[in-house]
Amino acid sequence: MTLNVVSVTVDLVLLTIRQAALQVLLIRRGIPPYPDRWALPGGFVLPGEDLGEAAARELREETGLDPQHGHFEQLATYGTPGRDPRGRVVTVAYLALLPDLPSPVPGSDAAGAAWRPAAEITPGELAFDHDRILADGLERARAKLEYTPLATAFCPPEFTVADLRAVYETVWRTRLDPRNFHRKVTGAEGFIEPTGGTVIRDRGRPAQLFRRGPATLLHPPLLRQPAPQAQSSRVGGTSRSSDL
Amino acid sequence: MTLNVVSVTVDLVLLTIRQAALQVLLIRRGIPPYPDRWALPGGFVLPGEDLGEAAARELREETGLDPQHGHFEQLATYGTPGRDPRGRVVTVAYLALLPDLPSPVPGSDAAGAAWRPAAEITPGELAFDHDRILADGLERARAKLEYTPLATAFCPPEFTVADLRAVYETVWRTRLDPRNFHRKVTGAEGFIEPTGGTVIRDRGRPAQLFRRGPATLLHPPLLRQPAPQAQSSRVGGTSRSSDL
DNA sequence: ACGTTTAGCGTCATGTTGACGATAATAGCG
DNA sequence: CGCTATTATCGTCAACATGACGCTAAACGT
C-alpha cells in the first residue's frame, strides 16, 4: 500500500459587511512563496486537531471571534498538485459569515491583515489558488442567502428589516423593493422574530428590531432570479426573455 | 513550522436507481480495520494526482463508468482524529449520481461489492464514519434535485417524463402527481427537450422521449415542501398582524 | 369491441410575486 | 408650529405558480 504523505491546511474565507460592501479578510504574506501578495488566512492542521477545530482556531487568531458569532461551514477542499510550490498540500477551506463587530483588529500574527471589498479583488491578485477559493465562497454565500436564514449571520443580535435588506442587496449586488422584502421576510416562518424594541437609524420612522428566528431553511425562499419567465405556451414570445 | 503528515484518501458515494430503489455501491472489507464490514469504495490519492482525478479513477475501477456518464461532485471532507484507527487520515468524499447502466459488475478489486438500497443501511453498519458520509451524500442528492436538473443524471440518455418522475419519487420517497409533474418539468426552461421519439414502457399510451436540456439551474425549482402554510401563531408569536 | 392502463392536456381555487400606491412616524427647517 | 424629506409598514392588483383532479388519447390484452 502506498503511503501518501501530504500536508493538510485550512484556509478561511471570512466575509463581513462593512461600509456597505461585502468584504473579505486577507493577509499580506511576508515570506515566500508569493511574498507581498494577499492571501486568505489559514494554517496547518495540528496533530490531533479536527479540521473544523483548526479552522475555528484560525478564526479566533485572526479576528478574535468565535464561530458561533456568525455562521461557519466547510466550503470545499483543494488539492491540485502544484497549487503550493512547497509540496503537496491539501487545503480544506471554510467559509464564515460574520457580523461587523468592532473586530479586535483583524491582524495579529501576520505581516498585515485587512478587510478588503470582495468586488475589488482582481483575478490573479491572490496567492496560490485563493482566487478560486474566494470565488467559490462568494458563490456559496450568495446561493445560501436564497434558501437559508444565513443573512442574519452578517447582522448583530438585533437588527431591522432594512439592515437585513442591506445584507441581501450588498451580497447579491442588487436592489430589492423595501415593501416586498418586508413582506417576504416577515412572512417566512421562523426567519426573524420581533424583539419589541425599535430604533431610529438615521431619518424616518422608527423601525422594529428583530432577532434571528429558529428556522434553518427559508419557506418560501427568497429567490434572486431576475426573470422567471418560462411560460412559452404558444408562439409569440411575450417578453424579451433572453434564454440565451 | 510544524510539518503535518497526513494520509489523504478519497471515498465515493455512488448512487443509482435500481429496481425502483435508491442504491449505493458498497464494498465488503476483507482486511482490518473493520473486517467483513461494508464500506464506501475509496482509496489513497496518488502522488501527483488531483483529488477529483483520484475519485474518478476509483469510480472507473469500481464501476467501469466515467464521471461524465452521470453527475460527479465533491461532497465534503472528513478528518476527525481517530476516524481511522491506522492513523491520521483525511478523506475527501465525492458524490456521483449514475444511471442504471448494465454496470460491468460493480466489484473488481475488492473482496465483494454490491449495490445496496440506501434505505436498508442501518446506522452503525458501515465501517469508519461512512454512515455519516453516506447520510451527507443522500441529503445532498435530495436537496439538489430541487433546484438543479441533476435528476437526469440517474437516467439513460433518453428517458420519459415518467422515468424522471420515478427518480424524484425514489430519491425523495414521495409520490408526485403525474400531471402536475409533467407540467412542471416540461415548463422548466432547459430542463428536458424532446428527442422526437416515443416508447411504450409496459402498458398504456406511448410516451415521448426526452434528453437532458442545457439548464444548470431549475426555474422554477421543484420544491418537495409539503405545506408552505405560514400562519401559526404559537409560541413566540411571530407576526401579530400577518393576515387572516 | 371493451376494459385497463399510462400519457398528456385542461380547469379551478389558492398562494406567491413583483410593481407600486397609501399611510405612519420620525427629524430638520423656516 | 406647520411643512417637507425620509424611512417603515400596510395594502392592492395583476401575473404567475401550485396542488387537486377531470378528461381525452393511445397503447395493450382478452
Name chain A contacts of B189, Cβ cutoff 8 Å: 230, 243
| Residue A151 and residue A167 in contact, taking contact as beta carbons nearer than 8 Å | yes
Rounded to whole angstroms, how far apart are CA atoms B40 and A34? 39
User: How many CA atoms lie within 13 Å of A67's alpha carbon, on the beta-carbon side?
Assistant: 14
Average pLDDT over residues A196-218: 95
How many other β-carbons are positioned within 10 Å of the β-carbon of residue A68? 8
Per-residue pLDDT at B236: 28
The owner of cell 492571501 is A39
> Which ipTM did the prediction report?
0.88
Q: Per residue in A13-41, pLDDT tens?
A: 999 999 999 999 999 998 889 999 999 99
pLDDT tens, N- to C-terminus, chain B (244 residues) = 445 578 999 999 999 999 999 999 999 998 889 999 999 999 999 999 999 999 999 999 988 888 888 999 999 999 999 999 999 999 999 999 999 977 665 555 556 889 999 999 999 999 999 999 999 999 999 999 999 999 999 999 999 999 999 999 999 999 999 999 999 999 999 999 999 999 998 899 999 999 999 999 998 999 986 543 333 333 222 222 222 1
Determine contact: A10 vs chain B, CB below 8 A. no
What is the architecture of the domain spanning B7-144? Answer: Alpha-Beta Complex (3.90)
Classify A51 in phi/psi space as left (phi over 0), alpha (psi -120 to 50) or beta: alpha
**Gap from B209 CA to C5 C1', Å:** 19
Looking at residues A137-156, what average pLDDT do you find?
97
Q: How many CB atoms lie within 10 A of CB B243?
A: 7
In this predicted structure, what is the pLDDT of residue A240?
27
Q: Output the average pLDDT for chain A.
A: 88
Q: What percent of chain A has pLDDT over 90?
A: 77
N-terminal to C-terminal alpha carbon distance within chain B? 64
Type of residue numbered A158? E
> Separation of CA A199 and C1' C29 in angstroms?
23
Average pLDDT score over residue span A136-163? 97
For B44, name the nearest residue in chain A, comparing CA atoms only.
A4
Q: What pLDDT score was predicted for residue B109?
A: 53
pLDDT tens digit sequence for A82-132? 999 999 999 999 999 999 977 666 555 556 889 999 999 999 999 999 999
Q: Cβ of A49 under 8 Å from any chain B Cβ?
A: yes
Q: How far is the CA of A204 from the C1' of C30 (A)?
A: 20
Q: Which residues, listed in sequence order, are joined to residue B79 by a DSSP beta bridge?
A: none
The strand pairing partners of A9, in sequence order, are: A44, A91
Is the predicted pLDDT of residue A231 greater than 80, yes or no?
no
Contact of A239 with chain B, judged by CB distance below 8 Å, is answered with: no
- Strand D: residues with CB below 7 A: A 160-162, 178-180, 182-183, 186, 198, 201-208, 228-231, 238; B 177, 179-180, 183-184, 187, 200, 203-206, 220-223, 241, 243
* B220's grid cell: 422554477
Beta strands in chain A (DSSP E): 7-18, 21-28, 38-39, 42-44, 71-78, 89-98, 112-117, 192-199, 207-212
pLDDT of A2 higher than 70: no
Option in A50, A79, A214 nearest B50 (CB):
A79
Interface test with B, best of A6, A147, A233, A239 (most B CBs within 10 A): A6
- Quick one: pLDDT at residue B111? 62
The alpha carbons of chain A give a radius of gyration, in whole angstroms, of: 21
- Are residues A196 and A204 in contact, defined by beta-carbon separation less than 8 angstroms? no
Distance from CA of B182 to the nearest CA of A (A): 14
CA A135 – CA A121 distance, rounded (Å): 10
Please check whether strand C approaches the CB of A177 to within 7 Å.
Answer: yes
Residue B231, C-beta contacts closer than 8 angstroms, at least 6 positions apart: B242, B243, B244
- Confirm or reject contact between B48 and chain A (CB < 8 A): yes
- CA of A165: nearest nucleotide by C1' is D8
Residues of A in contact with B184 (CB under 8 A): none
CB contact under 8 A, A4 and B48: no
Grid cell in block for residue A66: 468565535
Residue A12 pairs with which residues in a beta bridge?
A94
According to the model, what pLDDT value does residue A6 have? 87
Strands A42-44 and A207-212: unpaired
Q: Which residue has the cell 422574530?
A: A193
Task: For residue B20, give the C-alpha cell.
Answer: 425502483
